[in-house]
Structure 1
């Protein structure tokens, strides 16, 4: 009996360290204030230490900010490697599960974040610390934090479940995009997996403080449309008086026409709502309207106006009793027609009797029963906001291919009830935000993303060789707007597709397409998981994808006017798209012919 009790006691004693390891991830590890002696000697209370500029100056003997700017380098040999130089020469893989958390702060004009992560299993025994850097997309400002373990610490594989945190990064601009990079230390000379980057956006003023506190983000939330005859009355809510917004504008457009209206409410009558009228709108037309404050970069609220046809009563006839003079000629004409028909039927009866057995009624019946009926099903006029579609492409295939992409976007926006986002149309916004920041925002905000694949898009630049390796690695860590390319866009979209596929999420947001002069092999590997179309033959399928309507059902099929392969060319935008694709095909064939001759 006592032997069994002893064995049980030993099992419990052996299990206590395991229980302690399981409980370790419960609390995140935050940085500590440590002295340099504690870090070098491995004393108690200095397991995870923040390195300040004063520590760096003490170790290096000079002020690093004059040499390295706002970022803190990691002089491993100065801190830990003087006694054992090999301690700074091992490979450590990048951290994972990088997260960004917002910290509440009283300043309504800025945000503060804290970054958390987990170390990798690979090389964890040689892990000596982390460096966290933060950079604004489209800007040059960089902020860095450095954290080190003491030199005697050796982590085990179970410590990969620990969560480490950075110090707060304060005073970040609201509504801006940043890239945070967490590097595992030591950093070897040639290694591509020592850091993990994550792009995130700070909260907008409305998200942090509420819409009623932000003049730039405010927009009318409640818009009501009433129609009485030809008069259209629009009522919307007004902002708080403290925001100082005194005037507004409204813009309605349909079929290439625009109607602009200035709005100046009288706050003495009503300080919460205001009504105005839309005039000179055409009957039987659906308008897309926007209303916004008369401020720079004001957020616009979209609403829809359907101007109905007014039913006009037919005038009464002058006399409800037909005159006798009118009935006599009609009766004579009817009699003559009846006699002619009787004579014709009498003469044709023998011929019909002779040929009636040649008609195969069973085949006609089978055709009528199996024939597919055509059904016309227009979109509902009361549909919500049109889907937002981002089109990505490569400009490496020349101006003809870019023109085809632009004409495709114009056709989709005009005739497929879709709002298209294309950088060719928003060059000012792209220049202000930076190409990468603009594409990241559109990827996040769009309902659908269509990648136009081509030979240039599927091109991958060769990695640098020899002495250019370090320079190429530096370019990989640069997040400025000039570093963005179509390859980066495809990689971002491919990562989103991979994560959604791994989590079992819906992939319908992402689509790939090729024009007739491209090949399916031009679709990158990371986009093979999503729906892909051949344009212009699959315009109906693309329309079905964007609006979630079925093209076929038992006994019926859906016909979409002017989107079929035969009908789209009847529209001016469709003809322009067909011509642009033809010119791009000729340019592509000429380019391939030149490449073949050059190879010979």
Structure 2
């Protein structure tokens, strides 16, 4: 019996959790009517309350709140901070996803909106309410609404998905611009991220009521142009009678001249369409014309009129005779020239066929080789944005290896038309976001990821040694990046996981690349990164450039040539020389480190062999004694 009761209790608990989750992701939260006493005491039904102007006047004794509506400079401190000022002293981040929604407004000359938003999960535990203000751009009118939670409410991070709404803001002018600001409460001093502003425009009269209901926005939609001889007739649709438009005008432009036409339709003949004549237009000219209602700031409809050439009677018979007299001699001359060329070609063709076997094949091949060398493809410079490259590396190979990575990034960014992202160049942002968050964001936003592989991938982080009194050791430790950064090594592991997932899903792996310097070996490349393209630097700089920009190095009859990237030319640049010297120093440091480790291993082996023999053997004098 008790087992059944226990199972029933667990089911009820799970149901309550599901109901709570459904409540978090429910529909938008609408303001409630509740008093300030209910908000202070934290009673039920006071979760999200609107504070009216009467509540503010009653509590603070202010009667001049007409300009600012229900808003006051310090709402949390004045309305909730009397009993416990600590609840109004925490930082709260600005709301997100501020949206404007147009709602039904019976007045055709104004608009009504409702503002919605989501709270930020930063500081949501200390969130006490919102303040929404609306101001017309270029004006002084301000409308403001205040919403507060009760003092005992504490929201969790899951409530950041809730959508909160304001009360309607009515009476907004059509076709006007406004700025809405949603502020999270409380607002301590020296804090700039507590509000979110957005500029929007109300609907025009035509968008809200339709074009046939707006006198200022109406314009003719249907225009037809016909030409009969020298007469050009334009037909357009008339405005609805309820707008009260009685006259129109037309204006045509061409060659710096304006042709104005006043139009007054007779509504007794036709109430839907009207036709008028365009006179005194030049033949063979294209005119740009406008037609609109004869009202202030009326919208104009543009159309084009092309005046055709008109042939006059009697002119065609006189013009035919001179044209025929000119065409007959020209045709005869063309026939004679064609016959002479044909005869010359027929006589020379056997000579060409006889001389063809005399051309040697090696001369042809030499000519083709020289043509391939001379025909070079230019690098296209019409790319809008350079590709974004994230460089990851291991910090366990010492400062010299890190310096080589930095010089490589500088050379790529300066001479390979690529934007390089390196954690050493963005230390402030890394400190602000955290190394893991920074690398995850860069992996997501970068176009390419280059992993500089080295023997340091086989090491694991060690705890730092105790502090030493030796200043030289402290100086060396300050240069050693291992004591203060493991972020890039973790990023390399993240890249390896991304490559494995992309390979399992059959996705493109061109985003990921691996490279080694000349002092490293191919065995330093991890197994998961052997699936992607890998390069030897600096000899493979042209291949890396081709990968970054998606340009083929060779094609039939040509090859890619980019200045200062070839193995012979890049050292002539300051950045290339610095890169080559940094790689040389890193190679020397690695060989010295390897030699030191080998000597250490020999010393360890010698010491172990002495221990196996039972300690050091006595010399001859000791044995005689």
Task: Provide the TM-score with structure 2 as the length reference.
Answer: 0.50
User: How far, CA to CA, are the matches of 1:202 and 1:278 in structure 2?
Assistant: 39
Alignment of 1:316 onto 2:326: no
User: How far, CA to CA, are the matches of 1:253 and 1:71 in structure 2?
Assistant: 55
Distance 1:8 1:357, change over 3 A: farther
Alignment of 1:201 onto 2:198: no
Distance 1:66 1:10, change over 3 A: closer
SS in 1 for 2:178: strand
Partner deviation per Cα, 1:152-171 (whole Å, 9 max, x = no partner): 11111111121111111111
Structure 1 stretch 201-210 or stretch 63-72: which is displaced more? 63-72
User: How far, CA to CA, are the matches of 1:318 and 1:253 in structure 2?
Assistant: 34
1:16 deviates by: 3.2
2:269 matched residue in structure 1: 269
CA contact (8 A) 2:132 2:146 kept: yes
1:298 deviates by: 0.4
User: How far, CA to CA, are the matches of 2:131 and 2:114 in structure 1?
Assistant: 13
2:584 matched residue in structure 1: none
Q: CA RMSD in A?
A: 4.2
Q: Specify the structure having the higher radius of gyration (Cα).
A: 2
CA contact (8 A) 1:72 1:145 kept: no
1:251 matched residue in structure 2: 251
Distance 1:145 1:228, change over 3 A: same
Distance 1:180 1:67, change over 3 A: closer
CA contact (8 A) 1:96 1:117 kept: yes
User: How far, CA to CA, are the matches of 1:250 and 1:287 in structure 2?
Assistant: 12
User: How far, CA to CA, are the matches of 2:39 and 2:319 in structure 1?
Assistant: 109
Counterparts of 1:464-479 in structure 2, within 5 Å, are: none
CA contact (8 A) 2:181 2:195 kept: yes
1:237 matched residue in structure 2: 237
1:183 deviates by: 0.5
User: How far, CA to CA, are the matches of 1:117 and 1:10 in structure 2?
Assistant: 36
SS in 2 for 1:26: coil
SS in 1 for 2:184: strand
SS in 2 for 1:77: helix
User: How far, CA to CA, are the matches of 2:139 and 2:128 in structure 1?
Assistant: 30
Alignment of 1:173 onto 2:173: yes
1:117 matched residue in structure 2: 117
User: How far, CA to CA, are the matches of 2:230 and 2:282 in structure 1?
Assistant: 9
CA contact (8 A) 1:180 1:198 kept: yes
1:54 deviates by: 1.9
Distance 1:109 1:67, change over 3 A: closer
User: How far, CA to CA, are the matches of 1:256 and 1:242 in structure 2?
Assistant: 38
User: How far, CA to CA, are the matches of 1:114 and 1:6 in structure 2?
Assistant: 48
Structure 1 residue runs without a partner (length 5+): 321-325, 367-501, 503-600
Alignment of 1:227 onto 2:219: no
1:126 deviates by: 0.5
User: How far, CA to CA, are the matches of 1:67 and 1:109 in structure 2?
Assistant: 23
1:80 deviates by: 1.1
CA contact (8 A) 1:252 1:259 kept: yes
SS in 2 for 1:43: coil
User: How far, CA to CA, are the matches of 1:144 and 1:68 in structure 2?
Assistant: 6
1:311 deviates by: 5.0
CA contact (8 A) 1:92 1:194 kept: yes
Distance 1:152 1:69, change over 3 A: closer
Structure 2 residue runs without a partner (length 5+): 369-444, 446-625
1:64 deviates by: 4.3
SS in 2 for 1:86: helix
1:66 deviates by: 7.3
Counterparts of 1:81-120 in structure 2, within 5 Å, are: 81-120=81-120
1:73 deviates by: 3.3
CA contact (8 A) 2:69 2:145 kept: no
- How many residues of Structure 1 are paired with residues of Structure 2 in the alignment? 353
Partner deviation per Cα, 1:445-465 (whole Å, 9 max, x = no partner): xxxxxxxxxxxxxxxxxxxxx
Counterparts of 1:183-194 in structure 2, within 5 Å, are: 183-194=183-194
Q: With a CA cutoff of 8 Å and minimum separation of 6, indicate the structure with the bigger relative contact order.
A: 1
CA contact (8 A) 2:68 2:144 kept: no
1:3 deviates by: 6.3
SS in 2 for 1:315: helix
User: How far, CA to CA, are the matches of 1:67 and 1:317 in structure 2?
Assistant: 85
Partner deviation per Cα, 1:380-406 (whole Å, 9 max, x = no partner): xxxxxxxxxxxxxxxxxxxxxxxxxxx
CA contact (8 A) 1:72 1:144 kept: no
1:129 matched residue in structure 2: 129
User: How far, CA to CA, are the matches of 2:49 and 2:110 in structure 1?
Assistant: 27
Distance 1:2 1:221, change over 3 A: farther
1:6 deviates by: 5.3
User: How far, CA to CA, are the matches of 2:320 and 2:87 in structure 1?
Assistant: 111
Partner deviation per Cα, 1:355-404 (whole Å, 9 max, x = no partner): x979x9xx9xx9xxxxxxxxxxxxxxxxxxxxxxxxxxxxxxxxxxxxxx
User: How far, CA to CA, are the matches of 2:160 and 2:351 in structure 1?
Assistant: 94
1:4 deviates by: 9.7
Task: Provide the TM-score with structure 1 as the length reference.
Answer: 0.52
User: How far, CA to CA, are the matches of 2:67 and 2:216 in structure 1?
Assistant: 39
SS in 2 for 1:28: coil
CA contact (8 A) 1:113 1:168 kept: yes
User: How far, CA to CA, are the matches of 1:162 and 1:46 in structure 2?
Assistant: 17
Alignment of 1:278 onto 2:273: no
